[in-house]
Amino acid sequence: MPASSIVYRAYDADAMHGYQSDPLIVRRMVNELLLAVTHQPDAARAWRSLVSPNDKVGIKISAAGGEIFTTHRDVVNALVDGLVAAGQSRPSIIVWDRSLGGIKKAGYTGNEGYQLRSIPPRDGYDPKATISAPFLGNLIWGDLDYIGGKGEMPLLSDQVNTSSVSHLAKIVANEVTKIINVPVLSNSERNGIAGCLYNVTIPNIDNWRRFGIPPDYGAASIPEIYSDPHIGPKVVLNVMDGLLAEYAGGPLSQPNYAVQFDTLYASKDPVAVDAVAGRQIESWRKEQKFPSIIRTGAHVAVAAQMGLGNASPSRIEIRNVGR
């Protein structure tokens, strides 16, 4: 565990106008964060300190929030343009989430020049890249080991259609060598916070529903999944999109619980970003008399105990960049 962690914060009150982000302001914010995290003088050298020309780079976004709460296209475009300036091939960069059902409403056109990818049900998972945990899950259509057709009753009994095994998406298991992790600032009804740790674990596996139920709520499992060599060791940068934030009902879109926050966070420590974001979500929830997410979001504290980063406020410094 690092002795301390730095979470960089970029804020600009003009970054959002209604539900629309300002691409020039967002680009500046992203670049300021990148330079701060890497301690480099320009974006090209900053990216070269994180990825090499031979790396296959993936950007893991959050698209569960549809039109309003998907990772903003302007944030992704700023990251991609920086990677291209550092020598990456735009068509080789993969931007993905489990499902991209609402991505067009969020402004993505499909003509950005990079790959916009979802994880195909069943076929999108690697049968050899598995994660076991002492929690049985009920398999459904789309899980690799599910027996039966789409919309059909299982061919085997309910007892047989359970498993303690999850499979990793082929994208993380076989395709990308470096990951830029770009979640939104949102709670998770199942896992407390849909932050950095959550964003590259739960949406990248099948049989995932078992990690969002009591008594554990994924507290032990999410850090273990993150530690898998196919995931955590590949993550070189975490950028949390808090231009719009959500403190209840997430990660699905719940505009009634939205906050225009005009903020981006960045760090190499995913635990620290989640801890900072989690405390902010707790503050909003307390104001609105919602229950605490401490229990359901316990995976953040467990990740710190496992040495994946820092969660204690005494070990996290928040530094403002830009204006």
Amino acid at 288: Q
What would the two tokens of residue 108 be? Answer: 């993505």
- 84-138 residue pLDDT tens: 999 999 999 999 999 998 898 999 998 999 999 999 999 999 999 999 887 888 8
Could you give the count of Cα atoms lying within 13 Å of 181 in the half-sphere of its Cβ?
30
Listed residue (126, 47, 135, 138) closest to 93, CA to CA: 47
What would the two tokens of residue 205 be? Answer: 């596996």
Tell me what pLDDT residue 152 has. Answer: 54
CA geometry: angle at 272 spanning 271 and 278, to 5°?
85
What is residue 94's three-state secondary structure? Answer: strand
Report the length, in residues, of the chain.
323
Are 139 and 145 in contact, with CB atoms under 8 Å apart? yes
Low-confidence ranges of the chain (pLDDT < 70): 1-2, 148-160, 323
Are 83 and 112 in contact, with CB atoms under 8 Å apart? no
Alpha carbon distance 182, 93 (integer Å): 14
Amino acid at 142: G
Tell me what pLDDT residue 133 has. Answer: 83
Tell me what pLDDT residue 150 has. Answer: 59
Tell me what pLDDT residue 148 has. Answer: 66
Alpha carbon distance 122, 146 (integer Å): 8
What would the two tokens of residue 314 be? Answer: 């005494």
Alpha carbon distance 148, 142 (integer Å): 10
CATH number at residue 173: 3.40.50
Tell me what pLDDT residue 151 has. Answer: 54
What is residue 86's three-state secondary structure? Answer: coil
Cis preceding-peptide flag for 229 (omega within 30 of 0): no
Tell me what pLDDT residue 3 has. Answer: 84
Listed residue (173, 164, 305, 163) closest to 228, CA to CA: 173
Sorted by sequence, the CB contacts under 8 Å of residue 76 that are 6+ apart come out as 59, 61, 95, 112, 182
* Segments forming the whole domain that contains residue 182: 5-321
Sorted by sequence, the CB contacts under 8 Å of residue 63 that are 6+ apart come out as 70, 71, 97, 98, 99, 100, 101, 102, 103, 106
What is residue 129's three-state secondary structure? Answer: strand
Alpha carbon distance 210, 197 (integer Å): 17
Backbone angles phi, psi at 149, to 5 degrees: -95, 170
Domain count, the chain: 1
Tell me what pLDDT residue 19 has. Answer: 87
